[in-house]
Amino acid sequence: MASATDPISGLPWLGAEEATLQGLISGATPFLLVHVALDQFEGVVDAVGEDVAGQAVALFASRLRALTHPEGRLWRQRGACLLLVTTETEAVSAPEAYASRLLRELAEPLAVPPHTLQLTSSMGVALYPDDGGTAGALLSAADMALQEARRSGLGQCRRHALLPGAGWHLPSFSRSLAAALERDELELHYQPFVDAADGRIAGVEALLRWRSSDGVLLVPPQFLPRAEQLGLMSGISAWVLDRVVADARRWRRAGFDDLRVAVNVSTVQLIQGDLIERLENRLASADVAFDQFEIELSESTLLRDLERIREHLRRLRSYGVGLTLDDFGMGGAGLVHLPRYPLSKIKIDRDFVSEVAQDQGQAAIARAIIAMGRQMHLKVMAEGVETEAQVGYLRRADCDQLQGFLFSGPKPLLEVEPLLRQRYLRPELFVQGAASRTLLLVDDEENVLRALQRVFRRDGYRVLTASRVSEAFELLASNDVQVIVSDQRMNDVSGTEFLGRVKELYPRTVRLILSGYTDLATVTDAINRGAIYRFLTKPWDEEDLRQHIREAFRTWESLSG
């Protein structure tokens, strides 16, 4: 039976003390649930190793426990995620202010000899009973809030609720929202997207924000549902359109006449039918071209009033406006609807991108969407790109455009313009490496890797080395590797299991095992499945080993010819 306690942090696993959470709910005492996640923790593991990273999680949990004692209760969830429940008065009365204070205090460096780690975390908060009346509803609300926080950048906190905070009441919130336009409280932030070929900025996506009278910056899920209920969407949509056209005109005059601007459009706007006229009039008066614009649609839009929407979309496309299907795969529209609409681009949802360089399921979905886009003559953009490995894999899969915090988060107008003047974002990620004769060596013993490097040095190969499987996947995502040689007995997974995953993600590679350990059944099964090309033994004969690798490259060339 699995332990109910996490051996690293000493905390109970989520679910191990469910009675505590249920007891708080049945007691009808208001409390705050906080979902805490260390930012970019995979990069920490890669940089310092799993042992040191595990110690960092334990120290982080200990610091959080000290900050929230005695009212707080902690659980370990998954990866570098923790859950906090607290009845502290400050937390219940001002959830986001409480979370912001925790973020600041948790950001102090962690001493994990011989390292000093500067870690940040993100938080999603949910208040009982306002944001959910059951354990499941609260956990879901906190998780959605965490995702919103991470989309806003590193070290952020969010509350997933219709109202921005516990101090707001529906009538006052509605009055403030209704007055937002008059008070000039709405803002547009812009997030760039880049060409996957070279990192050149291809365009920006306009994202609406509301800076309320108390200074809190709210994202659309926190106020647009209420705006729709109050009948305010027409005025807000007109404001967004005016602002976007004005900014596009500004950029065109500054020389960015090839910059595309993407704007999210709701189903209501399309059904009403005056969007095209309003857009045409505004663009004509501002001397801005239709083909600078992209309209982003949700999948759910394709399920509403189909013929009327198709007619409006066809008219927009006839003017040259780009039509993008946002968050493809998450909205339930189904593949059958795609050919019925004059789309120009689809966006792969971030949920299919997060582990694309290592997870064969995500990789298969991403490749399938990209291949489908090619067949339908659509551009494909991946959103939520946050790591260099994701960039490498998506480029090799022929994705057209990339968007994510690795390049830039959403920024106000004056902050995004310096990026536009750069023209390129993270250009070092797009420098082509050697395209042929690249050999990847994977072994958890550094002395073996050094010895193998010496063996192949005179053969002119570009040699890459990895001592961990996660590091090997990073290299595979970022480099065009033809031949892989892996040890069988490694700390994290076996060589045959590793190469089996590689076969699914990179089927054109030639894969070999080099090991002093022989499990005939495992090796035979791997060969029969096509996971490995050949099994070689340690200690090796240097000339024989070099000959095997030469033959492996010839095999790759014959298969690729």
Structural domains of the chain sorted by starting position, each given as residue range(s) with its CATH number in brackets = 18-166 (3.30.70.270), 186-429 (3.20.20.450), 438-560 (3.40.50.2300)
Query: What's the number of CA atoms in the CB half-sphere (13 Å) around residue 215?
Result: 2
Higher pLDDT, 163 or 508: 508
Distance, CA of 227 to CA of 243 (rounded, Å): 19
Identify the pLDDT of residue 90. 83
Residues paired with 72 in a beta bridge:
86
Identify the pLDDT of residue 204. 97
Identify the pLDDT of residue 419. 94
> Mean pLDDT, to the nearest integer, of 530-553?
85
Q: Which amino acid is at 506?
A: Y
What is the β-pairing status of strands 110-112 and 411-412?
Answer: unpaired
* Runs of H (alpha helix) within 287-334: 306-318
Identify the pLDDT of residue 167. 46
Residue 436 has pLDDT above 70, yes or no: no
Q: Are 525 and 513 in contact (CB under 8 A)?
A: no
Q: Which amino acid is at 165?
A: G
Q: Return mean pLDDT, the chain.
A: 82
pTM of the model: 0.61
Residue 100 to residues 120, 121, 160, Cα–Cα distance (Å): 12, 11, 15
Higher pLDDT, 11 or 242: 242
**How many C-beta atoms lie closer than 10 Å to residue 229's C-beta?**
12
The band of 21, judged by pLDDT with boundaries at 50, 70 and 90, is low
Residue 75 has pLDDT above 60, yes or no: yes
Higher pLDDT, 436 or 13: 13
Distance, CA of 425 to CA of 199 (rounded, Å): 5
Percent residues over pLDDT 90 in the chain:
21
- At how many degrees (to 10) do helices 95-106 and 50-68 cross? 130
Q: Lowest-confidence range among 210-214, 260-264, 479-483?
A: 210-214
Q: Are 311 and 340 in contact (CB under 8 A)?
A: no
Identify the pLDDT of residue 518. 62
Identify the pLDDT of residue 304. 58
- The gap between the terminal CA atoms of the chain, to the nearest Å, is 53
Identify the pLDDT of residue 9. 72
The band of 2, judged by pLDDT with boundaries at 50, 70 and 90, is very low
Q: Are 328 and 369 in contact (CB under 8 A)?
A: yes
The band of 331, judged by pLDDT with boundaries at 50, 70 and 90, is low
Strand segments (E) across 16-120: 31-38, 72-76, 81-86, 110-112, 115-117
Could you identify the residue written with the tokens 């059951």? 134
Identify the pLDDT of residue 230. 75
The band of 123, judged by pLDDT with boundaries at 50, 70 and 90, is very high
Higher pLDDT, 411 or 310: 411
Could you identify the residue written with the tokens 């033809």? 482
In sequence order, what are the residues at sequence separation of 6 or more whose Cβ sits closer than 8 angstroms to the Cβ of residue 180? 186, 210, 212
Distance, CA of 365 to CA of 382 (rounded, Å): 12
